Amino acid sequence: MCDEEDCEGCPSWILDILYWLPPIILILLVVLTYYPLVETDKLITQHHYLTGTILNILYHFFLFMYLITLILSVLTNPGDSRKITKSIDIENGIIGEKRFCKVCNIYKPNRAHHCSICKRCVLKMDHHCPWISNCVGFFNYKYFILFLIYSFLISATAATIVIISFFMPQNDEISPLIIIGSVIAMIIGFSFVITLIPFIAYHLALLAENMTTIEDSKTKKDNEKHIWDLGLKNNLKQVLGENYLLWFLPTYISVKGDGFNFEHR
């Protein structure tokens, strides 16, 4: 949470609202465009039943997964290093000296980093994402990856529905508000698709190498050796789990490991 020290003269409740505003906006976007898109899809179904039905099923499935993965990314604790109750591997002799966090007053486990916004050391911290008002770390990284993927898919599906509807015979009974809402949904969809493509590509590349954003930055900057790369198959399992059937489902049980100790080369 934010506090008054983060903004001079700004009440804490205002800061809290601003802190949670991005994920609220992401939810409102699909809520406000839902009705126009469903009505637009009905127009397609009237003329091409199979096409309209398939788009309707895909849209609602992607919408459900989008909301679930967003909520899980926001609400799941990414991993708090302060809750150390077991023997852990400290970065000593592998990739550097023991790292002590003066703020949390603890030795940081491998791959853990302190987040100045969350005010804690996060296990396998990737980055702090304002769009989910949370850090992306060990326990919610899979949810975050899936959220990116399903955000792309629902955006592409929404844009596709509107584009196909342009080629359908127009119904004079359709409200201008629905048309405007559909066009807005298409614009938002295109914007998200264009924005998400490079972001998803980057995180999939990190996933393939079993690396976080912070580690990627340090490796390039300090020329550090990357010791967590276990090969593509095992790297994917580290985040997505052992069961291939659960890779694209936001299941907690598929997360491999405890966030404190990691396999390395």
Instruction: Note the pLDDT tens digit of each residue in 12-58.
Output: 777 778 888 999 999 999 999 999 999 999 999 999 999 999 999 99
User: How many contiguous H segments (helices) and E segments (strands) does the chain have?
Assistant: 6, 6
**Mean pLDDT along residues 135-147:** 96
Task: For residue 2, indicate whether it is catalytic.
Answer: no
The range of the structural domain enclosing residue 73 comes to 4-78+130-254
Q: How many domains does the chain have?
A: 1
Catalytic position from the list 2, 118, 121, 129: 129
Computed over every residue of the chain, the mean pLDDT equals 86
Predicted TM-score of the model (pTM) = 0.88
pLDDT of 258 reads: 79
CA atoms within 13 A on the CB side of 208: 6
Q: Is residue 175 part of a domain?
A: yes
pLDDT tens by residue, 56-99: 999 999 999 999 999 999 999 998 877 664 555 555 434 456 77
pLDDT attached to residue 97? 60
Distance CA 53, CA 59 (A): 10
User: Of the candidates 98, 119, 89, 72, which has an alpha carbon nearest to the alpha carbon of residue 262?
Assistant: 89
Higher-confidence residue of 136 and 18: namely: 136
Give tens-digit pLDDT for 214-256. 999 887 766 666 788 899 999 999 999 888 899 999 987 666 6
Angle between helices 176-209 and 232-240 (to 10 degrees): 130
- Give Cα 111 to chain centroid, integer Å: 19
In a domain, 143, yes or no: yes
Would you say residue 104 lies in a domain?
Answer: no
Residue 199 lies in a domain: yes
pLDDT at 173 over 80: no
In a domain, 105, yes or no: no
Report angle CA 60, 192, 205 to the nearest 5 degrees: 100
Contacts of residue 204, Cβ cutoff 8 Å, sequence gap at least 6: 145
